[in-house]
A and B are shown apart, each in its own frame.
Chain A
Amino acid sequence: MGKYITKRIILAIVTIWAVATITFCLMNLVPGGPFLSEKAISPAATEALEAKYGLDKPFYERYLTYISGALHGDFGDSLKQRGRTVMDIISSKFPVSAKVGGIAVLMSLLLGIPLGVLAAYKRGTWVDSLFSVIATCGIAVPSFVICTLLMYAFGVKMKILPTLGLTSWQNYLMPVFALSAYPTSYIMRLMRSSMLDVLGQDYMRTAKAKGVSQKVALFKHALRNAILPVITYLGPMIAYTLTGSFIVEKIFTIPGLGGEFIKAINGRDYTMIMGTTIFLATFMIIMNVIVDIVYKIVDPRITLK
Chain B
Amino acid sequence: METKKNPLSLQLNLNPDDFLPASKDEKESLVIMRESVSFWKDGFRRLRKNKVAMICIAIILVIMIFAFVVPSFYPYTYKDQIIGANNLKPMTYSADEQARIAAGEEVFPHFLGTDKMGRDYAIRVMMGTRISLLVGLIAAAIILVIGSIYGSVAAFAGGWVDLVMMRIVDIIYTIPDVLLIVLLSFAIQDPLKKLAEIPGFNWVNVVGENMISIFIVFALLYWVGMARMVRSQILTLKESEYVTAARALGASSSRIIKNHLLTNCIGTLIVTTTLQIPSSIFTESFLSFLGLGVAVPMPSLGSLASDAINGLNTNPHQLFIPAFVISMIILSFNLLGDGLRDAFDPKLKN
Residues of A that sit less than 8 Å from B by CB: 11, 14-16, 18-19, 22-23, 26-27, 29-32, 136-137, 139-145, 148-149, 151-152, 156, 246-247, 250-251, 261-262, 265-266, 273, 277, 280-281, 284-285
| Docked complex Cα distance between A248 and B290 (Å) | 11
Q: Which residues of A contact B305 (CB under 8 A)?
A: 144-145, 148
Q: How far is the CA of A26 from the CA of B335 in the complex (A)?
A: 38
- Closest chain B residue to A189, Cβ basis: B338
16 CB contacts below 8 A, A to B, read: A16-B174, A19-B174, A22-B171, A29-B183, A30-B186, A30-B187, A136-B335, A140-B327, A141-B330, A142-B286, A148-B309, A156-B312, A246-B290, A261-B178, A281-B175, A284-B174
- CB of A148 within 8 A of CB of B176, answer no
- Residue from A11, A27, A141 with most neighbouring chain B CB atoms (10 Å): A141
Once the chains bind, are B175 and A142 in contact (CB under 8 Å)?
Answer: no
Q: Does B65 contact A (CB under 8 A)?
A: no
Is B70 part of the contact surface with A, judged by Cβ < 8 Å?
no
Q: How far, in Å, is A209 (CB) from chain B's closest CB? A: 24
In the complex, which residues of chain B have a beta carbon less than 8 angstroms from the beta carbon of A148?
A: 305, 309, 312, 319, 323
Residues 118-143 (chain B) with a chain A CB within 8 angstroms:
none
Contact across chains for B175 and A137 when beta carbons are under 8 A apart: no
4 closest A-B pairs by beta carbon, nearest first, are A140-B331, A145-B323, A30-B186, A140-B330
Query: Is the pair B312, A262 in contact by a Cβ cutoff of 8 Å?
Result: no
Q: Which residue of A lies closest to B183 (CB)?
A: A26
A19 in contact with B290 (CB, 8 Å)? no
Tell me the interface secondary structure of chain B in the complex: helix
Q: Which B residues contact A (CB, under 8 angstroms)?
A: 167, 170-171, 174-176, 178-180, 182-184, 186-187, 190, 278, 282, 285-286, 289-290, 302, 305-306, 309, 312-313, 316, 319, 323, 326-327, 330-331, 334-335
If A23-B183, A265-B178 are given as contacts, then 7 extra A-B residue pairs at C-beta distance below 8 Å, sorted by A number, are A23-B175, A23-B179, A140-B334, A144-B285, A144-B305, A152-B319, A156-B313
Given contacts A26-B187, A247-B286, contact A273 B179 (CB under 8 A): yes
Contacts of B313 in A (CB 8 A): 156
Residues of A within 8 A of B286 (CB): 142-144, 247
Q: Are A19 and B171 in contact (CB under 8 A)?
A: yes
Given the interface contacts A18-B171, A142-B286, A156-B312, does A262 sit within 8 Å of B319 by beta carbon?
no
User: What is the CA–CA distance of A290 and B290 in the complex, to the nearest angstrom?
Assistant: 32
Cα(A156)–Cα(B167), bound, Å: 48
B331 in complex: contacting residue of A27, A136, A144, CB < 8 Å:
A136
Determine the chain B residues whose CB is within 8 A of the CB of A151 once the complex forms: 312
In the complex with contacts A140-B278, A152-B316, A262-B327 CB distance below 8 A: no
Q: CB-nearest residue of chain A relative to B301?
A: A142
> Per a CB cutoff under 8 Å, which of B183, B290, B335 touches A262?
B290
